[in-house]
Amino acid sequence: MIRNPKDLTRYTPQERVNHWLGGICFILLALSGLAFFHPAFWPLTQLFGGGVWARILHPFIGVLMAGSFLSLFLRFRSLNVMTPADKEWLSRAGEMLDGKDHNLPEQGKYNGGQKLMFWALAIGMLLLLITGIVLWRAYFNLPVDVVRFAAVIHAAAAAVLIAVVMVHIYAAIWVKGTMRAMWYGTVTRAWAKQHHRAWYRQVTGK
Amino acid sequence: MALQSLDIKQRSATTTATPSVRQTVEVAKLIDVTTCIGCKACQAACMEWNDIRDEIGTCSGVYDNPTDLTENSWTVMRFAEVEEAGKLEWLIRKDGCMHCADPGCLKACPSPGAIIQYSNGIVDFHEENCIGCGYCITGCPFNVPRISKKDGKAYKCTLCSDRVAVGQAPACVKACPTGALHFGAKEDMQDYAASRIIDLKSRGYDQAGLYDPPGVGGTHVMYVLHHADRPGLYSGLPKDPSISPLVSLWKGFAKPLATVAMAAVALGSLFHYVTKGPNEVSKQLEDELEKEDAP
Ligand code: HEM
Ligand code: SF4
């Protein structure tokens, strides 16, 4: 039974499955990768059956995530083109952080912050994939200078993306009524009108 | 190699003190390249003592055999033919782990206790803790560690840490027929090298010298070279090796910085929530929409 048939559909089942697949992979990659990065995180290898398993699994999960992100990227790319309104929104993101978003410019399906995250993820994923393959000693043995460079980029891109994704997850927790969009695909009209008014107009015709 | 030890100077991926109550004398192996005849007795002794056998390869047309270090060949002789002052010189170098005082492998290794540095200077791999990531190869300035295709673990020369622990010299040193290999306290080895260098200089090798590169804090395997000014002549021995700045950045500075930054974002989010409260859907908007719906 659905609570309100007038709720708006934000994500199709395919989009949600795609998002969760990528998200699960990302979390597993972050946990296993951090274990190699700093000794403080080493105990995380136990989640994967020990250090050797973490080392074996990480790159394969990485390739899976890269594939799933590519599919997500192709689905959402056109919705994430930056517009002047987004730039204005971004320059006034402080108001959003204060929870006083009613004076900000109207936002489409995604706001400037979400679009920025989308492109940061796209660039970061590409860097992680390329450098991750360079680091993959079990199958590749590239010149040592290239591997050293890749190690720095991989670790830096991973740290940035982990921070970006933490903000992404936090935003979904903070803005009430958002999480259900990824659980079962719908949001209330009031949620849409408040946070993504241009999108609300577009889908309701009001 | 796993040995109970109380004289561990450094342990990979470990941030607390290591068992180091016992201090031992710093040791070194001295390889006098100028008296080496390239017989490979040391290579054979290494295989014998450590009980490892490489695959039988093919002749590559030169004496180098095997042509590179492998997980089963922890030392190999490298033969270089160079022309110096119109004369052919056959420069033969016994290659293998240099046991750096500042080991790049240990710095890069993510697995606690997979790489150990004893207070005597030996850098040893403890394969039972190795996860096979290959970071040690990335960290090494001398291109020494090798990962086994069979078990995915990293291997290299142990400087016969098992023999040294019971007061024996490394197997290679025992086997050398010309006395080109020496082993003992590092200080004694430096003294002996100095006398060799005086001798070489008196015989026309003006640039003879000891190879104990300071960029890696000195090594516990040292060479006496006739051309110490150009170590590259000896099959590419690096002139001024040090841990790559990229490796220092990666496993030095970046580690705490990124960890603190990530923790700050996580804590920042939490405190944002508890200070600003959730961003709820406005009741007024909900009511308006409900009114619109009412027939
Ligand atoms: C896109 C595909 C990816 C591939 C192919 C890949 C591959 C690798 C490889 C081969 C290593 C070395 C350890 C090992 O051999 O297992 C590694 C380390 C690491 N990976 Fe990835 N990875 C990928 C994505 C990611 C992602 C998305 C993250 C972060 C969420 C990440 C975080 C890390 C970290 C932090 C390390 C340790 C770096 C260090 O020791 O400094 N990786 N990765
Ligand atoms: S492969 Fe090298 S760096 Fe990786 S765990 Fe083993 S010894 Fe450490």
* Closest A-chain CA to B284: A190
Q: Which of A15, A11, A8 is nearest to A200 (CA)?
A: A8
Give residue limits of the domains in chain B: 8-243, 248-293
Helix axes A51-76, A13-37, angle to 10 degrees: 140
Q: Give the bridge partners for B8, in sequence order.
A: B118
Within-domain flag for A92 = no
Within-domain flag for A1 = no
Closest atom of ligand 1 to CA, residue A55: 16
Q: Determine the average pLDDT of the residues in B64-81.
A: 96
Q: Measured in angstroms, how far is the CA atom of residue B109 from the centroid of ligand 2?
A: 5
CB of A154 sitting under 6 A from ligand 1: yes
Q: CA of A75 to nearest chain B CA: how many angstroms apart?
A: 27
| CATH for A160 | 1.20.950.20
Instruction: Judge whether residue B166 has pLDDT over 80.
Output: yes
Q: Band of the pLDDT at B1, cuts 50, 70, 90? A: very low
Across the interface, whether the CB atoms of A170 and B134 are under 8 A apart is answered no
Probe ligand 1: pick from A48, A128, A136, A139, max atoms within 8 Å of CB?
A128
Backbone angles phi, psi at B118, to 5 degrees: -80, 160
Q: CA of A18 to nearest chain B CA: how many angstroms apart?
A: 25
Probe ligand 2: pick from B135, B138, B144, max atoms within 8 Å of CB?
B135
CA B158 – CA B123 distance, rounded (Å): 7
Distances (CA, A) of B222 to B10, B23, B96, B139: 21, 22, 11, 20
Chain B residues with at least one Cβ partner in A under 8 Å? 13-15, 110-112, 129, 131-135, 137-138, 143, 147, 152, 244, 246-247, 249-250, 254-256, 258-259, 261-262, 265-266, 269, 272-273, 276-282, 285-286, 289, 293
CA A174 – CA A181 distance, rounded (Å): 14
What is the Cα B249 distance to its own chain's centre?
17
Q: Which of A3, A27, A36, A149 to mutate to test the interface with B (most CBs of B within 10 A)?
A: A36
When divided into structural domains, chain A yields a total of 1
Q: Collapse the DSSP code of B53 into the 3-class scheme (helix H, G, I; strand E, B; otherwise coil) and give the result.
A: coil
Domain that holds residue A37: 12-86+103-204
CA B125 – CA B127 distance, rounded (Å): 6
Task: Report percent pLDDT > 90 for chain B.
Answer: 92
Q: Band of the pLDDT at B162, cuts 50, 70, 90? A: very high
Q: CA of B275 to nearest chain A CA: how many angstroms apart?
A: 10
> CB A203: neighbour CB atoms within 10 A?
15
* Residue found by looking up tokens 């577009």 in the block: A202
Within-domain flag for A200 = yes
Within-domain flag for A98 = no
Q: What is the pLDDT of residue B3?
A: 62
Cis peptide upstream of residue B141 (ω within 30 degrees of 0): no
Alpha helices in chain A (DSSP H): 13-37, 51-76, 84-91, 93-97, 112-135, 144-174, 179-183, 189-195, 197-204
What is the Cα B19 distance to its own chain's centre?
21
B176 contacts B41 by C-beta, under 8 angstroms:
yes
B72 contacts B98 by C-beta, under 8 angstroms:
no
Q: Which of B205, B237, B253, B214 is nearest to B31 (CA)?
A: B237
* Shortest-distance Cα residue to atom 8 of ligand 2: B109
Within-domain flag for A93 = no
Within-domain flag for A32 = yes
Q: Determine the average pLDDT of the residues in B75-91.
A: 94
* Shortest-distance Cα residue to atom 18 of ligand 1: A33
Across the interface, whether the CB atoms of B282 and A99 are under 8 A apart is answered no
* Average pLDDT for runs of 10 along chain A of length 206: 85 97 98 97 98 98 98 96 93 88 88 96 98 96 97 97 97 95 94 94 90
Q: Determine the average pLDDT of the residues in B229-250.
A: 96
Domain B8-243 coded CATH 3.30.70.20: yes
With b for 16 or more beta-carbon neighbours within 10 A and e for fewer, the B138-147 pattern comes to bbbbbebbbb
CA B243 – CA B225 distance, rounded (Å): 23
Q: Two tokens at A96?
A: 């959003």
ipTM of the modeled complex: 0.93
Within-domain flag for A2 = no
Q: Does this model's pTM top 0.90?
A: yes
User: Looking at beta carbons, which residues of chain B come within 8 Å of A193?
Assistant: 285, 289
B2 contacts B152 by C-beta, under 8 angstroms:
no
